[in-house]
Every structure is written in structure tokens, then in C-alpha cells.
Amino acid sequence: MKEEQSLVNYERGGFRTDLSKRILEPEEIITGEEGEKYANRKDDRTLTYSMVARDIVERLGMNERSRVMEVCCGSGQLAHFLREMTGAYIVATDGGKELVDAATSKYGGEGIEFRQLDVHGATDGDFDFVICKDSFHHFTDPVQSIKDMFRLLKDGGKIYIFDLVRSCDPEQIDYRQKVMQIDAEAKRFLQSVNASLTPEEMKSVAIGSAVIDVEVIYPMQYSEDNIEEHKEIIERDSTKEYLLDKLFAVYILTKKI
């Protein structure tokens, strides 16, 4: 089915969306005062990180023998939950020193190795899985970015990408930006939506990257076991981001053997 572009646009903090096309953001490495603010952002996404971590474990079959690299790890919440759920060996990377410092301060004692590293400059690796959550839309050259991530994988390894979808339900964009407490965070969110790819665009990226297989999960669906596991925290959650099934997609890409 052909995707329909939304004609509804939004404005926040001086930025106005144009969702009919991808508007690139600069490939940013958040550092300095901005990095400290981002590491301590006000909207609580603990539930989302935990549910996405469980989704990763379920879909990839991650366990204590897995070797995992997370790119663009931010302040470390996803790596924390993955380690807690599986005991896997995890290297979590980000280009921003302040974010890596914050992640190390919070979770460095859990056996996670945090590194300041830009994925584009990373050397070849032998990881089973590469994880990229909420960050793929920042890459100005998505085909090259997939190739860079593949270099980190062993043959048969998989990339798991969780990201925004530009062609999503406009009501879900509207809901998400309205619950954000700070205009600068809402502006960043809208810029990220406008920079994100549609599922059809992502399939084209996969073809350009010579991906052997790409699985697209859209609308995003969590398993019944995942929802049941998080039932108590879901009841307390104020953002209800887990319900925004058409705002996010999951892409699982497999490296050729």
C-alpha cells in the first residue's frame, strides 16, 4: 500500500515542519552545556526504554552470550535495561563526552563499557547485534550509515533500528509534542520527525546498502508479554508514549554471510 504524506504541520520554538519531504538535521554530536541538558531532560522515558529493551531481547534472541554495540547511546538508559535483562556484553557509544560521562556515572558499575565514539569512525567489529534507538534520523547519509554499522557486525549479525516515522499519524505527533514540558525539547522532537524516513524510504536505504534482509515492524507493536511485564509502570506513566504505535517503527537488518 502506498504511504500517504500528512499535510498537517506543526510549529514549536520557531521551527515549522514540512512533513511532505525529509528536512535534514545536521549530524549533531551533543556536547557542552547542551549535552548536560540533554542528559538531564525533563520528560521521563523510562518506560519506553524498558519496553524497547524487552522488544530487542524478544526479536533478536539476545542473551548472556551476546556481544552488543549500541550507537548513539545518549545517557545510557537502553544499555542499562539490556544489560539488566540479559547480562550480555555491551559496548555503548556516543559522540558526546557529556552524555558518555553521564551514562558512565549512572550505569558504569553494571558491567557496561561506555565509549566516546562516532560510529562513522569505528573500526571493524565482531558484534552479534548493533542497536540504534531514536537516532537514525540524524544521519544525513543513511545508506553509508548502514554500511558503517554493518562493519561492526560478524557475518549473520543484525542491526536493530528504532526510530520515528515522518509519514505517521499526525494526531500522534501532536500528542507527543504537547506533553513535552520544554519548548526546546519539543522543537528538537519536531525537527527529528521531519528528518526521519518513511518505511518505504528505509526499504530503499536497505537495498542501497546491499542488506540481505530487512524486516519492517510498522505500526510498532509490543508483545503481550512485554505489556504484561510493564503493567504496573504503564499505569503510572504520564507520557503514554508506548501507545504511539504509528509514530515509531522498528527495522531489523541482517548482514550477509
Segments of the chain with pLDDT less than 50 = 1-6, 35, 39, 42-43
Model pLDDT, residue 67: 97
| pTM, rounded to two decimals | 0.91
Q: Are 165 and 247 in contact (CB under 8 A)?
A: yes
95 occurs within a structural domain: yes
Say what the pLDDT of residue 178 is. Answer: 87
Angle, helices 77-86 vs 97-107, to 10°: value is 40
Is 2 among the domain residues?
no
Is residue 117 in some structural domain?
yes
Instruction: Determine the pLDDT at residue 29.
Output: 56
What is the total count of domains within the chain? 1
Q: For residue 45, what are the domain limits?
A: 24-254
Residue 75 inside a domain? The answer is yes
CATH code of 175's domain: 3.40.50.150
